[in-house]
Amino acid sequence: MSQAEIGLIGLGVMGSNLALNIAEKGNKIAVFNRTVEATRKFYAEAGELKGQIVPCETIEEFVAAIRPPRPIIIMIKAGEAVDQQMEILKPYLSKGDIMIDAGNANFRDTMRRFEALKGSDLTFIGMGVSGGEEGARHGPSIMVGGTEESYRRVEKVLTSIAAKYENDPCVAWLGENGAGHFVKTIHNGIEYADMQMIAEIYGILRDGLKMSAAEIGEVFGAWNKGRLNSYLIEITEKVLKAADPLTGKPIVDMILDKAGQKGTGKWSVIEAQNMGIPATGIEAAVAARSISSMKDEREAAEKILGLPPVGEFTVADRQAFIEDLENALLAAKIGAYAQGFAVMSAASKEFGWNLPMPTIAKIWRAGCIIRSQFLDEITTAFTKAPDVANLIVTPAFAAMVKETDGALRRVVSAAVLGGLPVPALASALGYFDSYRRGRGTANVIQAQRDFFGAHGFDRVDGADSHHGPWGSGLNA
Ligand code: 6PG
């Protein structure tokens, strides 16, 4: 019997789906799970794909089943469990074997794991996989970080299982060590911002325009045919139109407004802050999830403070306002993506990855959670200007910002005056307004810093005088 092309450890939902996808695309795969029952069940249910699957009940058997140098995907809960699994595997591996962590790892753990194996016979790939269960089964977007040589060993298999955008496979080697997991982290950060902005627009339609879930679903459905066309808008329509089997009501009205988070959004913000890059859309989205989880506190605060006493939410022309909402969402989305790419560009320099921005946009066009038409436009913009300082100053996106930021301003103003929270939408507006203003207000901050701490400042005329004459008088 020929050897398996690749191995996979961890037959949870993501691991099982990925293994079936690999097998279905004609690649022989060896699988192993900590509990033997899961391996047996997986194999028993593999149907016609059984011929491509080698179920293994011991690590020895598993490792022996794979063609060397052996690529082994580890698809288990991120964190310490991955280190433990690697330690279990190591004694059985030999020269050139590649351990591949395909979970949502913190890229700093990936860097550590990669560095720890440097100089040894083994190597490590940190692989971001996006697309949820469905993506894993039928075509995810795959972001790979590790040595280029190790990528070449797995390129064929990964290319065969990745989603395709007009025949282009959504997989790429993005750089050494933590590059793949870093890019996946920022993908998720952008995903957080996208989702929060959609939720804020939903809030305006629900609490401002008093529309039902099904009516709002119609609005998102119409938008999905236009420039906002994307997976997240598509599923939002479906989510809003789904009925609760228990009550018959819209299911969305029966779901508690407390959002979970597993860490990738927070890591995006931490890394952006570490590098001094504003990622205000992602920050707002992470904070909004945290506030959402404080349900009891919010309910108690509503009793004490009440909702803002702003009266009825009124708009002069309802249809025109809904069009504004569509454009506002597009504008805000541009802000969040521009920030995400700016964070990746800074990280690329900081960690010496040489991240290929057009390629990243390209492999996000299909398979992943943020997949959209829009990413094709980003691909084009970065292909024309790979080293541009910020997406929003590329000609195509500058034109889009100019066309839509008026709508964003009107929507944010209406929401603020109506007492409706729109932290992520407002953050995008604040970002545009600050980023496009050549003369800001930090001269006052510099003066204050110098006043209380003699921190010094640069002068507009370049003169060699870096401290203020604090205490001297100037008449208004
Ligand atoms: C993806 C998703 C996936 C997962 C996130 C959700 O790209 O396929 O982002 O990675 O659904 O872990 O993250 P939160 O639980 O933090 O929302």
Q: Which atom of ligand 1 is nearest to the CA of 370?
A: 7
Nearest Cα neighbor of 423 from 306, 292, 316 is: 292
> Pocket residues for ligand 1 (CB within 6 Å)?
104, 130-132, 188, 191, 260-262, 264-265, 368-369
Nearest Cα neighbor of 422 from 319, 308, 294 is: 308
Give just the sign of the alpha carbon dihedral 75, 30, 17, 145: positive
Residue of 5, 28, 176, 191 marked active site: 191
Q: Which atom of ligand 1 is nearest to the CA of 262?
A: 16
Phi, psi of 305 (to 5 degrees): -90, -25
Residue ranges of alpha helices (H) inside 277-372 are 280-293, 295-305, 318-351, 357-363
Q: Which atom of ligand 1 is nearest to the CA of 368?
A: 7
Residue ranges of alpha helices (H) inside 162-230 are 179-203, 213-223
Question: Is 1 domain-assigned?
Answer: no
Number of domains the chain contains = 3
Q: Which atom of ligand 1 is nearest to the CA of 131?
A: 8
Q: Enter the tokens of residue 67.
A: 């063609």
Catalytic (active site) residue 25:
no
Q: State whether 144 and 189 are in the same domain.
A: no
Q: State whether 247 and 150 are in the same domain.
A: no
What is the rounded distance in angstroms from the CA atom of residue 5 to the CA atom of residue 66?
6
388 contacts 177 by C-beta, under 8 angstroms:
no
Mutate which of 18, 138, 235, 262 for ligand 1 pocket (most atoms within 8 A of beta carbon): 262
* Residue 471 domain boundaries: 444-475
- Tell me, what's the pLDDT at 85? 97
What is the rounded distance in angstroms from the CA atom of residue 372 to the CA atom of residue 384?
19
From residue 343, give the alpha-carbon distance in Å to each of 184, 187, 270, 282, 423. Answer: 12, 11, 11, 11, 20
* Exposure string over 371-404, b if 16+ CB within 10 A, otherwise e: bbebbbbbbebbeebeebeebbebeebbebbeeb
pLDDT in tens, the chain (476 residues): 699 999 999 999 999 999 999 999 999 999 999 999 999 999 999 999 999 999 999 999 999 999 999 999 999 999 999 999 999 999 999 999 999 999 999 999 999 999 999 999 999 999 999 999 999 999 999 999 999 999 999 999 999 999 999 999 999 999 999 999 999 999 999 999 999 999 999 999 999 999 999 999 999 999 999 999 999 999 999 999 999 999 999 999 999 999 999 999 999 999 999 999 999 999 999 999 999 999 999 999 999 999 998 888 999 999 999 999 999 999 999 999 999 999 999 999 999 999 999 999 999 999 999 999 899 999 999 999 988 999 999 999 999 999 999 999 999 999 999 999 999 999 999 999 999 999 999 999 999 999 999 999 999 999 999 999 998 777 67
Q: State whether 147 and 296 are in the same domain.
A: no
What is the rounded distance in angstroms from the CA atom of residue 146 to the CA atom of residue 182?
12
- Tell me, what's the pLDDT at 472? 75
- Tell me, what's the pLDDT at 471? 81
Q: State whether 273 and 332 are in the same domain.
A: yes
CA of 420 to the centre of ligand 1 (A): 27
What is the rounded distance in angstroms from the CA atom of residue 326 to the CA atom of residue 43?
47
What is the rounded distance in angstroms from the CA atom of residue 155 to the CA atom of residue 153?
6
Mutate which of 13, 17, 104, 364 for ligand 1 pocket (most atoms within 8 A of beta carbon): 104
CA of 188 to the centre of ligand 1 (A): 6
User: Which of 177, 207, 238 is the endpoint of a domain?
Assistant: 177
Q: State whether 237 and 256 are in the same domain.
A: yes
Q: State whether 99 and 222 are in the same domain.
A: no
Q: State whether 232 and 249 are in the same domain.
A: yes
Tell me the whole-structure pTM to 2 decimals.
0.97
- Tell me, what's the pLDDT at 1? 65
Nearest CA to ligand 1 atom 7: 130
106 contacts 161 by C-beta, under 8 angstroms:
no
Catalytic (active site) residue 184:
yes
Nearest CA to ligand 1 atom 1: 130
Q: State whether 18 and 55 are in the same domain.
A: yes
